[in-house]
Amino acid sequence: MTQPARRTAILRREAVIATVPVALAALFVAAGPASAGTAGTSGVGDPYFPLAGNGGYDVGHYDLTLRYDTGTGHLAGQAVLTARATQRLTRFDLDLNGLKVTGLTVDHVKADHTRDGQELVVTPRHALRKGQTFRIAVTYEGKPGPVTDPDGSLDGWIPTDDGAFVAGEPQGAMTWFPANSHPTDKASYDFTITVPKGRTAVANGVFLGEDTAHGQTTFRWRQREPMAAYLATATVGKFEVKKYTTRDGIQVYDAVDPREAEAAAPVLKQLPSVLEWESKLFGPYPFRAAGSIVDRAPNVGYALETQTRPVYDAAPGLSTLVHESAHQWFGDSVTLTSWKEIWLNEGFATYTEWLYGEQHGGETAQQTFDALYARPASDGLWAFPPGDPGSGANIFGTPVYARGAMTLHVLRKAVGDRVFFRILRAWAAEHRDGHGTTPQFVRLAERESGKDLGDLFQTWLYTQGKPAGLSKP
């Protein structure tokens, strides 16, 4: 595990210890090595985002109370986390970027805390026992803004002309709430968000209600099914809102920037039929709520599959709606455990777009595959293998999306349609509300097909360059 920032912090601390008087030094040293074993790590060991998430505890629930002033861009927050210690803990970290912490308690007792880059380092008054459930309450405030990802894109709390576009993949959750911000730790969420009257605050899950008083409106949301922090949103703007329930009993809440409404309407109208079509292919829709947030955020350049309710930077096309909806199964319900395995999200969502075309009078998936396969070996499509993008700067690159989808198409051709769709349904069902890894997917595909698929996945997911000599299916 590489943790450059923490490592230098520890070295600095040791240097300080060397200069203090002997008796005092003895005290520090006694605390030093002992606490080294009982301090939660500053990351969970993600090779591309070493400081993402934290070791030593697991969050079960986030209760976020936010007040956002769209005029000044000021955010005041209280985050109450319910967590369980997975080891004895004398100290642990949360991820929080910028913002000022104005209060912090652990089990209602004030706790010492310091900041070290994106780490909010907490030393509770009393050590936490392994297995102990504890409550962390953090009050914080400031003017949030996005982080810039390794690929140069904005991520996190992104102010707009009428509010904020809030999307946290892969690392932006920490720009607006303190979290164990790695997809390995999923939790339920409650949101209470207050914004100036006339603005709407849209989060994940079921809409519980809104109240207006003194020129402020408070919106309440509840996301019960476990969610990774990167999929949380609290998007604020002037929105036209539409609420309805689908034939399957899914509660839909759409929020649309009026400037995008005309372009968005014909696409959003298709959400129930898209979810029904995907449910037939992948098994039941995994959540009780759904919807769309269509913002106008010209400096964002992407949409995100925020859980239950994707957020779009502008009116989406139908294939984008299909893509973000597919992520509800692949990414949101079944979540990756390492950003390196992002093809499990993007390859699946992209292949769903191909399937949608095939089953709705467009190109067949085979035609889409063939057109891509015809690209020369020098094309960016073959720049790196989708199962090993090489760095955080590549996780949203074309090979992840397109060659990831091609991998699924090659699998489909190898096992036949009946088994292929059985594999997708088994994947969604067996890992629902949880996690899945590439080796687990390969094993499941081999189990369902009775075939040795090692070479196929080795070639398509992990081998550099354009896979050669593909016999025409």
304 binds, among ligand TRP, Zn ion, none (CB under 5 to 8 A by kind): ligand TRP
Distance in Å, CB of 120 to ligand TRP, minimum: 24
Q: What is the rounded CA–CA span in Å between residue 440 and residue 462?
A: 16
Distance in Å, CB of 316 to Zn ion, minimum: 12
Tokens of 457: 């996945």
Nearer to Zn ion, 77 or 310 (CB): 310
The β-bridge partners of 75 are 68, 142
396 binds, among Zn ion, ligand TRP, none (CB under 5 to 8 A by kind): ligand TRP
Q: What is the DSSP letter of 40?
A: P
Q: What is the rounded CA–CA span in Å between residue 114 and residue 122?
A: 7
Single-letter code of the amino acid located at 154: L
Distance in Å, CB of 165 to ligand TRP, minimum: 12
Distance in Å, CB of 194 to ligand TRP, minimum: 27
Alpha-carbon Rg of the chain, whole angstroms? 23
Q: What is the rounded CA–CA span in Å between residue 121 and residue 113?
A: 5
Nearer to ligand TRP, 253 or 348 (CB): 348
Nearer to ligand TRP, 295 or 346 (CB): 346
Judged by phi (left if over 0) then psi (alpha if -120 to 50, else beta), residue 301 lies in left
Distance in Å, CB of 468 to ligand TRP, minimum: 28
Determine contact, residues 396/151, Cβ cutoff 8 Å.
yes
Per-residue buried b or exposed e for 218-234, using 16+ beta carbons within 10 Å of the residue's own CB? bbbbbbbbbbbbbbbbb
Q: How many helices (H) and strands (E) does the chain have?
A: 12, 22
95 binds, among ligand TRP, Zn ion, none (CB under 5 to 8 A by kind): none
Nearer to ligand TRP, 93 or 324 (CB): 324
Distance in Å, CB of 162 to Zn ion, minimum: 26
Distance in Å, CB of 31 to ligand TRP, minimum: 41
Candidates 46-54, 133-141, 152-160, 344-352: pick the segment binding Zn ion (CB under 5 A). 344-352
Q: Interface residues with ligand TRP (CB under 6 A)?
A: 149, 151, 153, 169, 302-305, 323-324, 346, 396
Instruction: Concatenate the DSSP letters of all residues of 184-215 into one string.
Output: T-EEEEEEEEEEETT-EEE-SSEEEEEEEETT
Nearer to ligand TRP, 157 or 396 (CB): 396
Candidates 88-96, 184-192, 339-347, 438-446: pick the segment binding Zn ion (CB under 5 A). 339-347
Determine contact, residues 104/110, Cβ cutoff 8 Å.
yes
Candidates 76-84, 190-198, 342-350, 407-415: pick the segment binding Zn ion (CB under 5 A). 342-350
Distance in Å, CB of 213 to Zn ion, minimum: 39
The β-bridge partners of 58 are 84
Nearer to ligand TRP, 90 or 368 (CB): 368
246 binds, among ligand TRP, Zn ion, none (CB under 5 to 8 A by kind): none
The β-bridge partners of 293 are 255, 311
* Residue with tokens 């973000």, as numbered in its chain: 324
Go through the chain and tell me how many residues it has. Answer: 473
151 binds, among Zn ion, ligand TRP, none (CB under 5 to 8 A by kind): ligand TRP
Q: What is the rounded CA–CA span in Å between residue 6 and residue 84?
A: 23
Residue 336 binding Zn ion, by CB under 5 A:
no
Q: Is 370 helix (H, G, I), strand (E, B) or coil?
A: helix
Distance in Å, CB of 335 to ligand TRP, minimum: 13
Nearer to ligand TRP, 177 or 343 (CB): 343
Question: Alpha-carbon dihedral of residues 180, 181, 184, 190, nearest 10 degrees?
Answer: 70
153 binds, among ligand TRP, Zn ion, none (CB under 5 to 8 A by kind): ligand TRP
Q: What is the DSSP letter of 126?
A: S
Give the residue nearest to Zn ion (CB): 349
Nearer to ligand TRP, 90 or 438 (CB): 438
Among 51, 83, 321, 349, binds Zn ion (CB under 5 A): 349
Nearer to ligand TRP, 219 or 396 (CB): 396
* Residues contributing to the site for Zn ion (CB under 5 A): 346, 349
